[in-house]
Amino acid sequence: MNIITISREFGSGGRELGKRLAELFNYDYYDREIITAIAAKKRLDDDYVEKALESHSWQTIPLTFRHSFSSINRIQSVQTNLLVEQKHVIEEIAKAGKNCVIVGRNADVILAEQKPFCIFVCADKETKIRRCIERADKGENLSRKEIINYMQRIDKNRAKTREMLAGGKWSDCSTYHLVVNTTDWNIKNLTLAVAEFVSRWFGR
Amino acid sequence: MNIITISREFGSGGRELGKRLAELFNYDYYDREIITAIAAKKRLDDDYVEKALESHSWQTIPLTFRHSFSSINRIQSVQTNLLVEQKHVIEEIAKAGKNCVIVGRNADVILAEQKPFCIFVCADKETKIRRCIERADKGENLSRKEIINYMQRIDKNRAKTREMLAGGKWSDCSTYHLVVNTTDWNIKNLTLAVAEFVSRWFGR
């Protein structure tokens, strides 16, 4: 079974790379599917699960959600439960024994024993901002400053979760097999380059 | 003109990767050749130039060299002159206009305008130690602890020079196009994987 995990900076194009790699290799693809599985198991709303897993303090959970709970402790405990559930879902994916690409959620740490090929995807700041603007939903008119703040908050949270799970730095390149910088690449071409690299790894 | 630069952690196999890439592509290869060029220009000993460029404090220059100079200031100024000379030599290499691989010496920063393909090579600690032991000169019986100390000192100096030249972190993966981890790879096979990746970059 070949597992490829993709950790990525927000706006770097890591998700697109993961999706294209899965298509090219005909592998299963897991990203938001993990959130949906957790939400179904816990009978919660997908958006709530996603936001709760991306946050590390109750302040960042939208007020609409915050009102549902009686105390900060309760929210933190819900977050911890969701992280545990996320771990279970990822372990179940691996147990299925099928080749797959998993984007984010520290799958590389959770599935370390299965020896996945671990990729980290980064890009320079301007590339990430441009990508965020291009991919924003219609009507979502965030300013440049708001985009930068959002990017920084998401990446900070990802780094925190990783530190909690693995004790290591999220962007520490030596914990991955390959770090690719999407700046100045067309992701479609980059996918072919990464695919060849990965094939040599699995075939070595 | 295609330039590939290789920055590397000590013991990671970056030099071997660079040499093999140059052979595979039939590119010129520069590594210690740069030291030799500086030494010839400055009428200094190769080993002295190498040690002076790798050090950032007079304490780390061997006593035999230290005795030649009258003060710390004098040594620091020699080091700065050598760094400037190194920059010139690297710029001359680029001016020659031939495809090449340059290992180390912050060539990626110095030649930024020529848009080289920049690789950072890392490996986990045990892999690096094993590599250092395997490649030690006959009669060079360093203990494990001595090897670790040496590795750390060299990498610290490389990081310092980079910070001085580029203002950025040496191991900050987003400043490279590609970061490869040689752990669990045979460098010969890894070279083929990297070569394919680089070819797609230059052909994009």
Tokens representing A116?
A: 């996945």
What is the overall mean pLDDT for chain A?
85
For an interface test with A, the pick among B124, B155, B197 (most A C-beta atoms closer than 10 Å) comes out as B197
Cβ-in-10-Å burial (0-12, 13-18, 19+) of B99 comes to middle
Task: Work out the pLDDT band at B185, boundaries 50, 70, 90.
Answer: very high
- Residue A66 scores a pLDDT above 50: no
Q: How many beta-carbon pairs below 8 A join chains A and B?
A: 77
Q: Is B17 on the interface with A (CB under 8 A)?
A: no
Closest CA of chain B from A149, distance in Å: 19
Higher pLDDT, A183 or B53: A183
Cβ-in-10-Å burial (0-12, 13-18, 19+) of B119 comes to buried
- Residue A61 scores a pLDDT above 50: no
Contact call for B197 and A200, based on CB within 8 A: no
B166/B82 Cα distance (integer angstroms): 17
Do the Cβ atoms of B175 and B168 come closer than 8 Å?
A: yes
Which three-class secondary structure state does DSSP give residue A5? Answer: strand
Contact list in B for residue A185 (CB cut-off 8 A) is 201, 204
Q: Beta strands of B32-159 (E only): which ranges?
A: 100-103, 117-122
Tokens representing A4?
A: 């490829």
pLDDT digits (tens, 9 = 90+) for A27-57: 999 998 898 989 888 888 888 888 888 775 5
Q: Is A193 on the interface with B (CB under 8 A)?
A: yes
pLDDT at B51 (0 to 100)? 84
Closest CA of chain A from B99, distance in Å: 21
- Residue A147 scores a pLDDT above 60: yes
B54/B35 Cα distance (integer angstroms): 11
Contact list in B for residue A194 (CB cut-off 8 A) is 197
Which three-class secondary structure state does DSSP give residue B6? Answer: strand
Q: Which of A134-143, A185-194, B72-81 has the lowest mean pLDDT?
A: B72-81
Contact call for A181 and B181, based on CB within 8 A: no
Task: Work out the pLDDT band at A60, boundaries 50, 70, 90.
Answer: very low
Q: Which of B15-29, B57-71, B184-198 has the lowest mean pLDDT?
A: B57-71
pLDDT digits (tens, 9 = 90+) for B66-114: 445 455 566 667 778 888 888 989 999 999 999 999 999 899 999 999 9
Closest CA of chain B from A73, distance in Å: 36
Q: Any bridge partners for residue B103, and if so which?
A: B6
Task: Work out the pLDDT band at A76, boundaries 50, 70, 90.
Answer: low
